[in-house]
């Protein structure tokens, strides 16, 4: 025997993500997790330490997947990139893609039940998502697409809030069309380019 786990860890983590996504951290029992993953209690504790250890690995994996999806949206225009990123997370035509909302957002609402490690993992994931948007906006400011006096930190929080609405509000009854119109409205807040004053380029 090699001593290596005799199971597919990716399958285990995907199953555990489903449990935490569906039940939340506090209501996800060890029995729920062993039933979904197929692991025995001893195997779960041996590999992950406890429920919190498993939760943290699930949250990091979920975050990595969301970040990869966000970073896959590329364009020379920051405005086009932000809009395309928001539309990437619209619910599909069946609505099943957003039936549970964002796992990080769900974890945020029950952070009082999380351990210190769980809170840190959750906060890190949220900050990393917002940072993707901030980086896009910073690039726009560096290239002159966004005026220098625009607060890109504030704008990143704004579009991160829109992203969270797109991901989470479908489960509250917002249709894909409604969320798409919400994105349209949010893009109307995009800062206009600064108009150079006559002679600012050295001409008269």
CATH of 7-65, one of 1.10.3720.10, 3.40.30.10, 3.20.20.110, 1.10.10.60: 1.10.10.60
Choice between 33 and 1, residue whose per-residue pLDDT is larger: 33
pLDDT at 117 over 70: yes
Q: Which of 63, 141, 73 is nearest to 108 (CA)?
A: 63
Note whether 7-65 and 74-191 share their fold.
no
Which uninterrupted H or E stretch holds 26? Answer: none
State the pTM of this model.
Answer: 0.87
Domain ranges of the chain: 7-65, 74-191
Query: How confident is the model over 61-70, as a mean pLDDT?
Result: 96
pLDDT at 176 over 60: yes
Residue 115's Cβ-side half-sphere holds a number of Cα atoms within 13 Å equal to 9
For position 204, what pLDDT does the model report? 43
Residues 6 or more apart in contact with residue 128 via CB below 8 angstroms: 63, 67
Structural fold of domain 74-191: Tetracycline Repressor; domain 2 (1.10.357)
pLDDT per residue as tens digits for the range 118-146: 999 999 999 999 999 999 999 999 999 99
């Amino acid at each position: 025997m090699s001593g290596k786990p005799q199971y597919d860890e990716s399958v285990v983590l995907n199953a555990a993500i489903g449990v935490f996504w569906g039940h939340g951290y506090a209501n996800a029992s060890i029995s729920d997790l062993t039933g979904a993953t197929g692991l025995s209690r001893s195997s779960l504790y041996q590999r992950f330490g406890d429920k919190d250890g498993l939760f943290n690995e699930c949250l990091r994996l979920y975050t990595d997947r969301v970040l990869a999806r966000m970073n896959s949206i590329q364009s020379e225009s920051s405005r086009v990139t932000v809009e395309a990123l928001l539309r990437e997370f619209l619910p599909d035509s069946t609505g099943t893609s957003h039936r549970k909302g964002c796992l990080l957002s769900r974890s945020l609402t029950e952070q009082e039940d999380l351990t210190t490690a769980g809170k840190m993992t959750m906060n890190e994931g949220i900050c990393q998502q917002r940072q993707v948007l901030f980086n896009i906006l910073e690039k726009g400011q560096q290239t002159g697409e966004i005026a220098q006096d625009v607060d890109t930190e504030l704008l990143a929080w704004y579009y991160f809030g829109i992203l969270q609405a797109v991901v989470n509000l479908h489960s509250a009854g917002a249709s894909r069309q409604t969320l798409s119109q919400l994105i349209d409205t949010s893009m109307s807040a995009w800062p206009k380019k600064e108009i150079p004053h006559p002679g600012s380029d050295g001409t008269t």
